[in-house]
Amino acid sequence: MKTQLIFLKELKDAFRDKRTIIMTIVIPTLLIPLMLFGQFFIQKTEIERAQEQVVKLIYSGPADIKELLVVDKKIVFLPFSDEIGKKIEEKDADAALVIQDGKAVIHYDPTKPTSAYASQKLKNYLLIYSEKVIEARLQNIGLDPNIIKVFDIKEESVASPSKMGAFFAAMLIPIMILSIGISGNMYLFSDIGAGEKERGTLEPLLATPAKRQEIATGKWLAVSSLSFFSIVLMLVVMLLTINYGQPLFLMPGQEGASLKLEPIALIILTLGGLLLALSGGALQFTISIWARNIREAQLYLGYLPMVVILPVVFLNIMGIMGNIPNWSYYIPLINLYPIIYTAIMNEMVFSKILIALSTNTLLTILGIMLVTRILNREEVILRT
Amino acid sequence: MIEVQELKKNFNKVEALRGISFNVKPGIIFGLLGPNGAGKTTNIRIISTIIKPTAGKVLVDGIDIDKNPDRARAKLGILYENAGLYRRLTGEENVLYFAGLFGLDMTTAKKRMKDFFEVLEIDYAKRIAGQYSKGMSQKVALVRALIANPPIVMLDEPTAGLDVTSSVKVRESLNYLKENGKTVIVSTHLMSEVEALCDEVVIIDRGLLVEQGSPKDIKNRYNSSNLEEAFIKVVKK
């Protein structure tokens, strides 16, 4: 009963802080669409910009190659200069093509996108030119130019749009869920632990008949439930964006993807989110109540995402390569990455889910026991 | 009402309390006096079960605080020097939250809160506590301490940092509590406050109980015209 009262008070208190609305509702709602739209917008803009780019070229070489290049209205020829490097460095030229004694050298600066694009464009023209020359030479000696073609290569994907959607989502979603779960409500955890000490509200609370365990549980559940809400919201927005938002960001001719999750995968995803909110919350609350003040709590809590996310980034790479190591299922919090990943990819292994469930439950119980013990330790609760 | 027996408290190598014993009779205003760092707040924290004594025993209304801390806390209403209100909650919400933690039903709590707000002239309790001055916060915190109608009320430096009007209001409320049958323990270093209010006092200095009795007895014992003068003689002894 008192746990429920503390839970409700903490929720009310949290929702009067604008940061809660931003971190719990606004960020999870906007993050996925923004990332998807942002990524595709940048890609589209870059392609359009490249198509429009005029290459300033310094050229020295055979006239027939120049004739081929002159046709391209997006190439402007500059007078030849001995200071090619300087011209490119100072952006007076994008690239230089020097052909002499059967050798074609493209001078460019790979650190400048316009120069790198110019180099690529020149390479393509040189390939076209080479093919034409070979074709002409073969014809001159009476041979069919197709003689040098062994076969035409064509790639055809057998992955369904649903599988592509899952692959795409699995690269992005687990890391984002873990980030939101482990750091989204960091300020609230620092507030309910170290913040209460700093503001002098913890002592009056501890002097009420409420048991330490009721206080610890009520506070932890309140903020963890907000984290869980954020995770669920993010999952819903992710499904909606991938399935219904694509026409808004796909370019003409680009293939789309869809994401259809089996009911069991949805249950496992929700369970993973719940475990993350509860065990991550217990860990954050323990750190916060141990800290002297909000500043110290935020400092310690600031390192937590690094500790969790860094191994997850490596797991993400291994996941994309289809090789998530078994040991990762035994480390609480981190093991939620493979659980979420395999749920999205519909490759769940229930024995491994059970391991993750057990280790995270253990972390949660230990965390709350530790907070309860800390609330009884005067040297911790009175230090500020 | 409160029995403190041979209370000792060490913080690492520092002896904050060195074997203090006193009894607080029911229905009186009891002063816990001493210079800064004497051990007054440590005493209050031990009685309120926030910290554990190194040795000794405390009975609150007959309840051993070591064996039944939750039951002992239910007998106590405490006002701290720092009011400790939740700044994003209104004054009313702060009070009702604590009423709930003391197990009070909301109908009774709301009626009692309204009465206290009238007595203490609190007309700002619907505003969030973050907007209150120190005096305003202290008055709401006093209502929070009294809402569950505890038999014992402890006040730690209740007038520290308050303006004259707020201090007078808090002092008046102590007499109001006494008239309503409460046992009041007030920890302070303001002698005029003690002389005007307290029926009995103990003086603590460097963790030891150095004097006890009524303010009048202590003044007579040290042949002093006021308690402040007597206090200085006691702590210099």
Q: Chain A residue closest to B70 (CA)?
A: A209
Per CB-CB distance under 8 Å, the chain A contacts of B45 are 203, 378, 382
| Residue A176, pLDDT score | 86
| Residue B56, pLDDT score | 94
- Best B97, B104, B132, B143 member to test A by mutation, with max A CBs in 10 Å, is B97
Contact call for A209 and B97, based on CB within 8 A: no
| Residue A189, pLDDT score | 93
Nearest Cα of chain B lies from the Cα of A16 at a distance, in angstroms, of 6
| Residue A360, pLDDT score | 92
Top mean pLDDT of A254-258, B77-81, B156-160 is at B77-81
Q: Is B222 on the interface with A (CB under 8 A)?
A: no
Q: If pLDDT is split at 50, 70 and 90, which confidence band does B125 have? A: very high
- Tokens of residue A261, six digits: 């999750």
Contact call for B48 and A207, based on CB within 8 A: yes
| Nearest alpha carbon to residue A204 among B14, B137, B170 | B137
Per CB-CB distance under 8 Å, the chain A contacts of B100 are 2, 5
B43 vs B45: CA distance, rounded Å: 5
Per CB-CB distance under 8 Å, the chain A contacts of B82 are 200
| Residue B167, pLDDT score | 80
Q: If pLDDT is split at 50, 70 and 90, which confidence band does B144 have? A: very high
B31 vs B40: CA distance, rounded Å: 10
ipTM score here? 0.91
Contact call for A211 and B70, based on CB within 8 A: yes
Looking up tokens 């603590």 gives B204
Count chain A–chain B contacts defined by CB atoms under 8 A. Answer: 69
b/e for A89-116, b at 16 or more Cβ within 10 A? Answer: eeeebbbbbebeeeebebbbbeebebbe
Q: Is B101 on the interface with A (CB under 8 A)?
A: yes
pLDDT over 60 (residue B122): yes
What rounded mean pLDDT belongs to chain A? 87
Contact call for A208 and B73, based on CB within 8 A: yes
A19 vs B1: CA distance, rounded Å: 47
Contact call for A200 and B87, based on CB within 8 A: no
A372 vs A289: CA distance, rounded Å: 10
Mean pLDDT to the nearest integer, A123-130 = 92
Nearest Cα of chain A lies from the Cα of B163 at a distance, in angstroms, of 21
| Nearest alpha carbon to residue B114 among B131, B83, B92, B98 | B92
Give residue-wise pLDDT tens across range A83-107.
899 999 988 999 999 998 889 999 9
pLDDT over 70 (residue A255): no
* Percent of all residues in chain A with a pLDDT value above 90, rounded to a whole number: 44
Mean pLDDT to the nearest integer, A349-355 = 91
pLDDT over 80 (residue A74): yes
Residues of A with CB under 8 A from a CB of B: 2, 5-6, 9, 12-13, 16-17, 199-211, 378, 381-382
Per CB-CB distance under 8 Å, the chain A contacts of B86 are 9, 13, 201
Residue A76: left if φ>0, alpha if ψ -120 to 50, beta else—which one?
beta
Residues 146-205 of B with CB under 8 A from A: none
* Percent of all residues in chain B with a pLDDT value above 90, rounded to a whole number: 57
| Residue A301, pLDDT score | 93
Q: If pLDDT is split at 50, 70 and 90, which confidence band does A254 have? A: low
Give residue-wise pLDDT tens across range A134-183.
989 999 998 888 888 788 888 887 877 777 778 878 888 888 888 888 88
Of the ranges A1-5, A235-239, B90-94, which one carries the lowest mean pLDDT score?
A: A235-239
Q: Is B70 on the interface with A (CB under 8 A)?
A: yes
| Residue B100, pLDDT score | 96
- Tokens of residue A310, six digits: 């860094």
Q: Is A168 within 8 Å of A214 (Cβ atoms)?
A: no
- Best B12, B43, B101, B152 member to test A by mutation, with max A CBs in 10 Å, is B101
Q: If pLDDT is split at 50, 70 and 90, which confidence band does A250 have? A: low
Contact call for A204 and B101, based on CB within 8 A: no
- Tokens of residue A267, six digits: 């249950």
Per CB-CB distance under 8 Å, the chain A contacts of B89 are 9, 12-13, 16
Contact call for B88 and A16, based on CB within 8 A: yes
Q: If pLDDT is split at 50, 70 and 90, which confidence band does B26 have? A: very high
pLDDT over 70 (residue A36): yes
Give residue-wise pLDDT tens across range A209-232.
999 999 999 999 999 999 999 999
Contact call for B101 and A206, based on CB within 8 A: no
B88 vs A17: CA distance, rounded Å: 8
Give residue-wise pLDDT tens across range A278-293.
999 999 999 999 999 9
Of the ranges A119-128, A372-381, B106-115, B141-150, which one carries the lowest mean pLDDT score?
A: A372-381
| Residue A380, pLDDT score | 84
pLDDT over 60 (residue A238): yes
| Residue A181, pLDDT score | 87
Contact call for B84 and A200, based on CB within 8 A: yes
SS3 B155: strand
pLDDT over 70 (residue A302): yes
Contact call for B101 and A209, based on CB within 8 A: yes
Q: Chain B residue closest to A12 (CA)?
A: B89
| Nearest alpha carbon to residue B208 among B51, B69, B19, B45 | B19
Q: What's the one-letter identity of residue A121?
A: K
- Tokens of residue A357, six digits: 């469930």
Contact call for B101 and A208, based on CB within 8 A: yes
Contact call for A203 and B80, based on CB within 8 A: yes
Contact call for A208 and B98, based on CB within 8 A: yes
Q: If pLDDT is split at 50, 70 and 90, which confidence band does A51 have? A: confident
Give residue-wise pLDDT tens across range B184-236.
999 887 788 888 889 999 999 888 898 899 999 998 988 888 888 888 888 77
Q: Which comes out higher in pLDDT, residue A301 or B165?
A: A301
Nearest Cα of chain B lies from the Cα of A275 at a distance, in angstroms, of 29
A76 vs A74: CA distance, rounded Å: 7
Q: Chain A residue closest to B12 (CA)?
A: A379
